A and B are shown apart, each in its own frame.
Chain A
């Protein structure tokens, strides 16, 4: 009996709190496309286990915070909401970008779609301009940090937590911006190989973007009055004092977010060194 009860409780926990077909389609679609692509790749070209785990893990985490009971807790507990955004904006997209999934995803598409649909899209001028307008050294970090500040502006936060549609806009904007940002930042290519920003400037941007996050995290974490009263107005998921909840939420905004940027810098350094080595090997091969 207790086992049955546990299973039921687990299923209730995993069942979507507010079912979103879009979230399911995106997370499951990405993983299925990737799996198909990996299966169709020549064995020698397939990504290693680590990369596969990073990709699937990233999407699994995104799905978990958006669609399970975690979402209910996020609506009624500030620090859980901050963890939800940490996953949507930092950790999930970071893992996906870390996996360098584009070759496998392209291979997973139906035959001919790559050439018939994606390439023309990639060459379409308006799309390229729009992508460049977002993905550059000024707009990308400003958007990344700006969204955090925007949704943490108390009256905006208040409305987002009361209005179901605004709540979805908030979470999706964090996820989509996270994917754009980390794809741009963790690009394995050098500038000459096609990356939009070189390794050096990207390291600088990653470190620079930490400062405002430390600032807002500390401001919230160390505040001595309630900044986000919507959780008191609507009730908390379990008993915890408003200031305790707020301090924890501030710490989540401050420390793990900063750590993700530091990790990003380490990844970039490794990718930079590898790209450099490969260039040397190629140069040596040409000379040899």
Chain B
């Protein structure tokens, strides 16, 4: 029994170290999630679907423009990674899906996302479309209580899902992953 316990704790300890496989520097989730599919409205008011981004490496992230810390931190890290990547990430696009479509108008999304770079695109949808998308990628979000000014926080996912040019899920970028690791993986993905 004691040996079993030791083996099991070793198993837990090893497992806690992460799932990097020596090739990729961010989490390899090859084929673990469904192919990239959605139909939403982009920040210029144009209806878009996943097909419009085939051929590009897509970095999918959920957030909102009033986000105090996590979203700007993540987006600026992605911007830095794209700058470090080959051709300044010309073949990459960051899709920023707002989980707060009530406050995030198309104009507001446009101004917010472009501030990080030309590859950043804001997307919004009806609550139903948003629910369908979040269910597909098994993420969720919840709204905090509004303060006296009507401002509220939104709790949301922190991971960035990366899809290759065919829409296949490939990588998951976590908040602790540094920009150079992301850049290296984007280069590897582009081949």
- Residues of A bordering B, CB below 8 Å: 18, 72, 75-76, 149, 152-156, 158-159, 161-164, 211-212, 215-216, 219, 225, 227, 229, 232-239
Contacts and interface: CB of A to CB of B under 8 A. Distances in A.
Contacts, number: 77
Contact of B19 (A152, A155, A234): A155
B90 interface: no
Interface of B: 1, 4-5, 8-9, 11-12, 15-16, 18-19, 29, 32-34, 62, 135, 137-142, 144, 155-159, 172, 174-175
B15 A153 contact: yes
Contact of B140 (A158, A216, A235): A235
Nearest to B174: A233
A76 B16 contact: no
Contact of B157 (A154, A234, A239): A234
B12 A154 contact: yes
A232 B37 CA distance: 23
Most chain B beta-carbon neighbours within 10 Å: one of A156, A212, A229: A229
Most chain B beta-carbon neighbours within 10 Å: one of A153, A159, A225: A153
A237 B9 CA distance: 30
Given A235-B157, A239-B144, A164 B138 contact: yes
A163 B33 CA distance: 6
A6 B18 CA distance: 43
Nearest to B27: A158
Nearest to B8: A149
Most chain B beta-carbon neighbours within 10 Å: one of A158, A212, A234, A236: A234
A239 B15 contact: no
Contact of B142 (A212, A216, A232, A239): A239
B11 A234 contact: no
A205 to B, nearest CB: 13
A268 B11 CA distance: 34
Contacts of A162: 29, 32-33, 138, 172
B12 A163 contact: no
B14 to A, nearest CB: 9
A121 B20 CA distance: 47
A235 B140 CA distance: 5
B5 A234 contact: no
Given A163-B33, A239-B144, A154 B155 contact: no
Contact of B138 (A154, A161, A212, A219): A161
A211 to B, nearest CB: 7
A233 B173 CA distance: 9
Contacts of A216: 8, 12
Given A155-B15, A162-B33, A229-B174, A234 B159 contact: yes
A76 B5 CA distance: 29
- 3 closest cross-chain pairs (CB), A and B: A233-B159, A235-B157, A154-B15
A237 B142 contact: yes
Contacts of A153: 11-12, 15
Nearest to B29: A162
Contacts of A164: 34, 138
A234 B60 CA distance: 12
Given A154-B15, A155-B15, A155-B19, A236 B5 contact: no
24 contacts: A18-B135, A75-B140, A149-B8, A152-B12, A158-B19, A159-B29, A159-B32, A161-B138, A162-B32, A211-B1, A212-B8, A225-B16, A229-B174, A232-B158, A233-B174, A234-B137, A234-B139, A234-B157, A234-B159, A235-B140, A235-B158, A237-B140, A239-B144, A239-B155
